[in-house]
Amino acid sequence: MPELPEVEVVRAGLAPALAGARIIGVDARDPRALTRHDGDAVSFERELVGRRVTSVARRGKFLWMPLAPASATARRAIIAHLGMSGQMLLRAPGAPAERHERVRIDIDHPEHGELAVVFSDQRTFGSLAIDELVPTADGHAGGWGSAETFVPSQVAHIGRDPLDDAFDDAAVRDRVRTKRSAIKRVLLDQTVLSGVGNIYADEALWAARIHPESPAAALNERDVTRLFAEVRAVLLKALAEGGTSFDAQYVNVNGQAGYFAHSLNVYGRDGLPCPRCGRPIVRASFMNRSSHYCPRCQRLS
């Protein structure tokens, strides 16, 4: 599943094309792509045609595109979640349909002219919706890419991500240390902090020398502070390399893959030597997925 770096690469690619653009056509050809939308395909299409997109924002793994208000009170946005295989692609107007195309939104930008924004999703776990924007609980901007202090109602419960300027280290650290669950499970809890998935949790825990099964409550302030620093470091490095691509399902808006898979230290490297100590990396079952760690560098406390 795409994590923060992959979704941020998509957001950054969409923003220049969508911010300020007017929606001139919508083709919601597969209702499975609208599972989060409160309405049918016809209502989705009808509400969007003629509206102007003001920006492209992100919190954690969610994207949203605020719409210019249609009235003094209604604040709405297109919200997107990529699921496991969703793609947001920019295509020329009239371009042939993508193999797993679910929704196409035709836009007209004052500088770039007409473009098509295609939502393609092989496994159909991703979705688009039109959602109400609500004020943020802390009064800060909703997420990356927008200065507005609003967030979609479907995203309001999602914690801020560690790269967000409004991320409160002390408050999140204190919350983490109240959890009796394994620290990796806490990292994956999107209500505590968002954007971190299986890949980057394993990488950050290895860098911080913390075993994924260590109880969060057993970690001291120094441990959690170090872990936050390593989470940020791995996310920023992945972002600089365009995200992690293991197959053709994750690509940016132009269909290009990311390169961070070449920089992974533990994830997917079971049996290979730890880059730090040389001991073989271990792969263990974890929440219907896998954890990868070094048994020497990351001792269970």
Which domains are assigned to the chain? 4-152 (3.20.190.10), 169-293 (1.10.8.50)
Query: pLDDT tens string for the chain (301 positions)?
Result: 678 888 998 999 999 999 999 999 999 999 999 999 999 999 999 999 999 999 999 999 999 999 998 765 679 999 999 998 899 999 999 999 999 999 999 999 999 999 999 999 998 899 999 999 999 999 999 999 999 999 999 999 999 999 999 999 999 999 999 999 999 999 999 999 999 999 999 999 999 999 999 999 999 999 999 999 999 999 998 888 765 543 444 445 555 544 455 578 999 899 999 999 999 999 999 888 899 999 999 999 7
pTM value? 0.90
Is 179 assigned to a binding site? yes
Catalytic residue, chosen from 29, 180, 279, 289, is: 289
b/e sequence 265-276, b meaning 16+ C-beta within 10 Å: bbbebeeeebee
Catalytic, out of 61, 104, 160, 175: 61
Tally of CB atoms within 10 A around 172: 17
| 2: annotated active-site residue | yes
Contacts of 233 (CB under 8 A, 6+ apart): 204, 207
Examine the residue annotation and report whether 213 is marked as an active-site residue of this protein: no
Residue (of 123, 158, 76) closest to 248 by Cα position: 123
Is 289 labeled as catalytic in the residue annotation? yes
**SS3 label, residue 275:** coil
Which residues touch 46 (CB under 8 Å, ≥6 apart)?
none
Q: Which of 2, 66, 162, 212 is catalytic?
A: 2
Give Cβ neighbours of residue 212 (< 8 Å, ≥ 6 apart). Answer: 182, 183, 184, 201, 202, 205, 284, 286, 291, 293, 298
Active site residue 61: yes
